[in-house]
Chain A
Amino acid sequence: MTLTLKIWRQADAAAEGRLHTYQLDEVSPDMSFLEMLDVLNEQLNAAGEEPVAFDSDCREGICGMCSLMINGEAHGPEVTTTCQLHMRSFADGDTITIEPWRAAPFPVLKDLVVDRSAFDRIIQSGGYISVNTGAAPDAHAIPVPKQNADRAFDMATCIGCGACVAACPNGSASLFVGAKVTHLGELPQGQAERDHRVVNMVAQHDHEGFGGCTNIGECAAACPKEIPLDVISQLNRDLRAAMRHGH
């Protein structure tokens, strides 16, 4: 395959960025999208142009490190992560525009790399169950109904990639916060801190500059782990309950 790539290049957080156009030949449909960029980078390096910076680590769709807006879609056209997207999803002769996540709380650091540390700070504000090492009762002390355990698991599969934010016209991280609140809220262990958790996480979310949710649903459509939109309803219900309890 031969492709025309329009890639966002930006020297650092302070610099202005712009799209550069590159031509790439001999792309195999079996390559992953990131392997295609590796090939481009080898070519650039050989030609004396600095390679394009982009994030990736596991390349298995689980670490959440990769990102990229591909032709305006977070993680590209399939329901998966960019690292699991393959070039067979594109056609010979295609022009592909590749940009970083766009959201004020995710500033661009260089080229396609953004700063997602706001997500860590949201978890710090309450995305955990407080239990010190060694203080745990036997794992069988509290049975958890299978359906709750399964739902908790489904919500816990969020990889913290930020696609939901990048896809949202408001730049909201409600899907990310909702997934965590639902994961821990489904479990008996998570009840004691349930009110605190939701109130503090939402406050931190707003403080970081993420936008409010207006139920557009782009987030769930972009989510590579198919976190459903109803976690946001759960988030709102939990928030209202916490308010009622006087938080």
Chain B
Amino acid sequence: MTDMPDTTTTGNPSHDAPGDVVDDAAGYYREGDPIADTKSPDDQPVERRWSERKFSARMANPAKRRTLSVIVVGTGLAGASAAATLGEAGYQVKTFCYQDSPRRAHSIAAQGGINAAKNYKGDGDSVYRLFYDTVKGGDYRSRESNSYRLAEVSVNIIDQAVAQGVPFAREYGGLLDNRSFGGVQVSRTFYARGQTGQQLLIGAYQALERQVAAGTVETFTRHEMLELVVVDDGSGPRTRGIITRDLVTGAIDTHIADAVVLATGGYGNVYYLSTNAMGSNVTASWRAHRKGAFFGNPCYTQIHPTCIPVSGTHQSKLTLMSESLRNDGRIWVPKDPADVTRDPRDIAEEDRDYYLERIYPSFGNLVPRDIASRQAKNMCDEGRGVGPEVEGVRRGVYLDFADAIARLGRPAIEAKYGNLFDMYTRITAEDPYQTPMRVYPAIHYTMGGLWVDYDLQSNLPGLFVAGEANFSDQGANRLGASALMQGLADGYFVLPNTIRDYLADGPFDTVPDDHPAVVEARASVQERIDHFLTVNGTRSVDSYHRELGNIMWEYCGMERSAEGLRKAIDLIRSLRDDFWRNVKVLGDSESLNQSLEKAGRVADFFELGELMCIDALHRRESCGGHFRAESQTEDGEALRHDDTFAFVSAWEFGGESGARELGTPVLHKEDLVYTAIEMKQRSYK
């Protein structure tokens, strides 16, 4: 939904002069040296850069490849596709996932579709247009070279998936069908009913299992990465392996390789409730961050406006309802807070506030995700939210199909949205054909992630990051159907071509078990486990996670302010302190222990949450999914400050002092330069 018909105006309508911008985060961070991507051949025009880099990246011959090893953590679209492709090329690959099968990675849950600039509809789509939409959708905060390459390789993804047997929707003529997704002007979204992620992941999973049979890939399921091994024998740091815990036996193992790829997904679960899977976590990325990998733009998170609202304090996750529903549904709340508990069907037309249609007459219910979300929150904060009261607030707005059913007839609505309506009924026991749906925004995707260069390599040599776990291609917001595209672009086409340049210097020396870097990493894993099992406190891990999530949602969610963020940082720090002293984890470390697994993940979410707030505090502008109350136009719309904030914030871990106190993080800025596109301010009025 981030992309809409072109209504942008050039230039900033109003902004502080550069010198005027207040450093809200002063005292919370230090500024370090700027950072730059050195791998993209920026002297070339944008459309030549990828070919150029593929050519300049060094190669190893097939015999040598057999001696080179790569660890891939994560088997979602990014990890499974990378591992399969590297296996096909002849490298020795090991994959890891925490689920019991690689096929269960959270990519499986994606519904809507995958973009590709195939122009099969002949409606004027092109690589440049997809690139343009991506950069604009990302509110001019993505790296130009990466976004262009993403659009460029998108076409190969569809070919690959079809060849693997992915059953995309087809027309009667036997050719592939496309739909327009999220308000874009062209039909470039390929889909497999409402299960596109599942079908693409099964394709990648099968390619992966084929390599297992071929002997090039070894899979470790129910294994969680808990540390990164970085070795420095005088010639600078090199990432050489990981420490894992076998979630069934509790065994702590060291895995050494010539390079490590993290494809471990997003960190939306820092909010506790999100559309992510229960086990989605930041641990792999965070452990790498603590070992020196920079974290890019942690405050860029995407909120999806139409999820099924929370029904009670027992709620464990949120379910997304496809945003295609907004094409026909009308969003409203009662005008009078006294009406919020009335049967919506009894509320007269004139007593309803169709607030999106009122505030944004030209876009109405189809405003972008962030605007729709923020307005829903505003309505509920005003006391006009509907549905059950949870912790004192009703968080829900109506999404009403009565007009659409009257206009098009029930069969037409059934044909379009039947499966979504059924899912809604199953979860809420309400019938959306009879009574309006209730929806509320939820955290859905994280654009931030580990900083990588054009090669997808982090600042730590030998550590590569792919898929949602990296920060690079989407900017401050993401177009619908572009995350699947990025995961598979990274895994099938980008990473296998760039990692070879790094591996050309390998194989590297063996790293013995008694190497100080290994000993230290294992000791740190063991120390945390021992700590959790011996604190013997009074509160469960989940109760801490829920409280952290509430803080993040309240102060670092849809709208952020300096005051709120500072308060959040204080709250997180004291809750985190309590967590370490008072958490209660039963059981032992030698067997399957789900509370222990969660404790480690929540510990890392605490640290990430603090950094997200610092990053949000520092970025005193509104861009993409990041809305700062202090940076809005007179009529309440997001206001970017290109003169001060056109950079990526790459954060370096500030170290840890005794008693688990975190040091001050260091900010490295990467300037964003656009050569093929002009920066514009968006407007949806």
A: residues with CB less than 8 A from B are 11-12, 28-32, 34-36, 38-39, 42, 45-46, 48-51, 53, 55-60, 62-65, 80, 84, 86, 88, 109-110, 113, 115-117, 119-120, 123-125, 127-140, 142-146, 149-150, 152-153, 156-157, 159-160, 183-184, 187, 189-190
Contacts and interface: CB of A to CB of B under 8 A. Distances in A.
A59 B172 CA distance: 34
Interface of B: 81, 84-85, 88, 99-104, 106, 108-109, 118, 120, 156, 158-165, 167-176, 192-193, 195, 198-199, 202, 205-207, 209-210, 212-213, 219, 221, 248, 277-279, 311-312, 314-317, 319, 426-429, 492-493, 496, 540, 542-543, 584, 586-587, 591-595
Given A65-B104, A123-B206, A143-B175, A80 B426 contact: yes
A38 B169 contact: no
B176 A140 contact: yes
A38 B170 contact: no
Given A120-B101, A129-B206, A133-B496, 18 more contacts: A12-B591, A30-B428, A57-B104, A63-B99, A116-B101, A120-B103, A131-B164, A132-B88, A133-B88, A134-B156, A137-B159, A139-B161, A146-B172, A146-B174, A149-B168, A156-B167, A156-B192, A157-B195
Given A35-B315, A133-B492, A157-B198, A190 B165 contact: yes
A62 B118 contact: no
B163 A62 contact: no
30 contacts: A12-B591, A28-B314, A30-B311, A30-B428, A35-B314, A42-B543, A45-B595, A46-B540, A49-B586, A51-B586, A53-B593, A57-B277, A58-B108, A63-B99, A84-B426, A84-B427, A110-B591, A120-B212, A127-B209, A128-B164, A133-B81, A135-B163, A139-B161, A139-B176, A149-B170, A149-B174, A152-B167, A156-B165, A156-B199, A160-B101
Contact of A63 (B108, B221, B315): B108
Contacts of B594: 51, 53
Contact of A117 (B100, B164, B591): B100
A149 B594 CA distance: 40
A131 B106 contact: no
Contact of B316 (A35, A129, A130, A144): A35
B123 to A, nearest CB: 16
Nearest to B319: A60
Given A64-B103, A125-B213, A187-B165, A109 B592 contact: yes
Contacts of B167: 149-150, 152-153, 156, 183, 187
B321 to A, nearest CB: 11
Contact of B210 (A62, A128, A184): A128
A39 B100 CA distance: 24
Contact of B84 (A46, A133, A184, A189): A133
B202 A156 contact: yes
Contacts of A143: 170, 173-175
Contacts of A187: 165, 167
A213 B332 CA distance: 54
B209 A63 contact: no
A184 B85 contact: no
Contact of B120 (A65, A125, A140, A159): A140
Contacts of B163: 129, 131, 135-137, 139, 189
A149 B169 contact: yes
Contact of A38 (B171, B221, B316): B316
Contacts of A42: 540, 542-543
Contacts of B162: 136, 139, 142, 189
B109 A58 contact: yes
Nearest to B162: A139
A168 to B, nearest CB: 20
Contacts of B206: 123, 127-129
B99 A57 contact: yes
A109 B248 contact: yes
B103 A60 contact: no
Contacts, number: 218
A152 B428 CA distance: 31
Contacts of B212: 120, 124
Contacts of A80: 426
B195 A139 contact: no
B8 to A, nearest CB: 33
A63 B85 contact: no
Nearest to B312: A28
Most buried by B among A49, A53, A63: A63
A140 B108 CA distance: 25
A138 B104 CA distance: 28
Contacts of A56: 278
B311 A64 contact: no
Contacts of B99: 57, 63, 65
A117 B248 CA distance: 13
A138 B157 CA distance: 10
Contacts of B160: 131, 133-134, 136
Contact of B104 (A32, A63, A124): A63
Contact of A45 (B103, B159, B207, B540): B540
Contact of B278 (A59, A130, A149): A59
Contacts of B207: 128, 131, 133
Nearest to B221: A117
A116 B100 contact: yes
- List the 10 closest A-B pairs by CB distance, nearest first: A143-B174, A128-B206, A136-B163, A153-B167, A136-B159, A139-B162, A133-B85, A110-B592, A152-B167, A57-B277
A125 B319 CA distance: 35
Given A46-B540, A64-B103, A156-B167, A86 B426 contact: yes
Contacts of B278: 56-59
A26 B261 CA distance: 46
A143 B174 CA distance: 5
Given A60-B109, A63-B108, A45 B315 contact: no
Contacts of B158: 139
Contacts of B277: 57-59, 63
A134 B170 CA distance: 23
A109 B205 CA distance: 24
Nearest to B173: A143
B592 A113 contact: yes
B78 to A, nearest CB: 13
A145 B591 CA distance: 50
A12 B158 CA distance: 44
A117 B199 CA distance: 20
A155 to B, nearest CB: 9
Contacts of A160: 101, 103-104
A64 B88 contact: no
Nearest to B497: A134
A64 B109 CA distance: 11
Contact of A144 (B170, B193, B199, B587): B170
Most buried by B among A32, A120, A187: A120
Given A117-B100, A133-B84, A62 B591 contact: no
Given A133-B84, A139-B159, A62 B108 contact: yes
Contacts of B213: 124-125
A31 B592 contact: no
B535 to A, nearest CB: 13
Contacts of B199: 153, 156
Contacts of A132: 85, 88
A32 B100 contact: no
A221 B328 CA distance: 35
Contacts of B171: 146
Given A58-B109, A135-B163, A86 B591 contact: no
Most buried by A among B81, B104, B195, B277: B104
B518 to A, nearest CB: 28
Nearest to B192: A153
B595 A63 contact: no
Contacts of B209: 120, 123-124, 127-128
A86 B592 contact: no
Contacts of B542: 38, 42
